[in-house]
């Protein structure tokens, strides 16, 4: 990275860190649980792995992502959105879901579960906002063909995140518990969403589709 300032290198590494964690987390949770449970069984959502042997991976991954997002500094809108997103990521890790909990669910647990859902939804919406509004901005240089390709990836990623979030909400509202458990709809929606924003952050971090004009 000769000729690039240390601050610029740090920004690229933070972007890559967010992308890698986002893409790797659902696979790490699922594969790790397969190994511990000794059977190929998906849980209903990523959040339900909090109650499995993969709790530390779930909490640690989200907290690491949260720290990366809070430390991320670029333009002022990016700083504000990433800080809020980082706080929400840590909130998702700390305030656990009530889904998949085998012990009796108290009123306090239900409140914590609502906070968890709100934080998760807010986090995904903010990450979609990066893809749709912040990443595609024009830089100081000319708009190259590769920049147009990258912008296309950002837009598609953002739309996929939003659609996945809407489908996840629809599955919770309209599918019976038995159907949700059978299809694992929420888990698949979450997986698609986090892979989508992970790809966008890796592209923006110049891990793939490098373009000096961005």
Q: What would the DSSP string read from start to end of 48-112?
A: GGGGSTTHHHHHHHHHHHHHHHHH--SSHHHHHHHHHHHHHHHHHHHS--STT--SPP-HHHHHH
In tens digits, what is the pLDDT along the chain, a chain of 214 residues?
Answer: 444 565 888 999 999 999 999 999 999 999 999 999 887 889 999 999 999 999 999 999 999 999 999 999 999 999 999 999 999 999 999 999 998 887 788 999 999 999 999 999 999 999 999 999 999 998 777 888 999 999 999 999 999 999 999 999 999 999 998 898 899 999 999 999 999 999 999 999 988 877 655 5
Name every residue whose Cβ is closer than 8 Å to that of residue 207 and which is 6 or more positions away in sequence: 16, 19
Instruction: Say how far apart CA 28 and CA 21 lie, in whole Å.
Output: 10
Q: What is the pLDDT of residue 40?
A: 86
Q: Is residue 211 part of a domain?
A: no
Task: Read off φ and ψ for residue 33, nearest 5 degrees.
Answer: -65, -40
Q: Please, what is the Cα angle at 163 between 158 and 169, to 5 degrees?
A: 130
pLDDT at 170 (0 to 100): 96
Has residue 1 been placed in a domain?
no
CA distances from 208 to 1, 57, 84, 127, 198 (A): 15, 26, 26, 19, 12
Helices and strands (H, E) in the chain, number of each type: 7, 0
**Model pLDDT, residue 26:** 97
The answer to whether residue 213 sits within a structural domain is no
Alpha-carbon torsion (89, 16, 195, 53), positive or negative? negative
Q: Domain span at residue 149?
A: 6-204
CA distances (Å), origin 111, targets 96, 117, 197? 10, 10, 28
- Considering the domain boundaries, does residue 214 fall inside one? no
167 within domain boundaries: yes
163 lies in a domain? yes
Which of 162, 158, 164, 160 has the alpha carbon at shortest distance from 134?
Answer: 158
> Tell me, what's the pLDDT at 209?
75
The pLDDT value given to residue 14: 94
Q: What's residue 2's pLDDT?
A: 43
Tokens matching residue 208: 């793939």
The residue assigned the tokens 């004009």 is 213
Residue at 104 is within a domain: yes
For residue 112, is it within any domain? yes
Q: What domain count does the chain have?
A: 1
Q: What is residue 3's predicted lDDT score, i.e. its pLDDT?
A: 44
């Amino acid at each position: 990275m000769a000729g690039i300032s240390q601050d610029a290198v740090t920004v690229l590494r933070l972007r890559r860190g967010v992308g890698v964690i986002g893409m790797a987390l659902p696979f790490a949770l699922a594969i790790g649980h397969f190994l511990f449970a000794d059977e190929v069984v998906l849980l209903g959502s990523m959040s339900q792995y909090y109650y499995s042997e993969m709790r530390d991976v779930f909490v640690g991954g989200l907290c690491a992502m949260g720290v990366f997002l809070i430390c991320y500094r670029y333009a002022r809108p990016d700083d504000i959105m990433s800080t809020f997103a980082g706080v929400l990521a840590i909130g998702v890790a700390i305030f656990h879901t009530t889904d998949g909990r085998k012990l009796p669910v108290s009123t306090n647990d239900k409140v914590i579960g609502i906070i968890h859902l709100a934080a998760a939804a807010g986090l995904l919406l903010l990450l979609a906002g990066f893809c749709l509004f912040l990443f595609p901005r024009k830089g100081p240089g000319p708009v190259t063909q590769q920049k147009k390709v990258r912008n296309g990836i950002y837009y598609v990623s953002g739309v996929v995140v939003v659609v996945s979030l809407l489908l996840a909400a629809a599955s919770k509202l309209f599918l019976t518990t038995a159907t949700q458990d059978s299809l694992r709809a929420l888990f698949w929606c979450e997986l698609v969403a986090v892979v989508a924003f992970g790809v966008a952050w890796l592209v923006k971090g110049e891990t793939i589709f490098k373009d000096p004009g961005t």
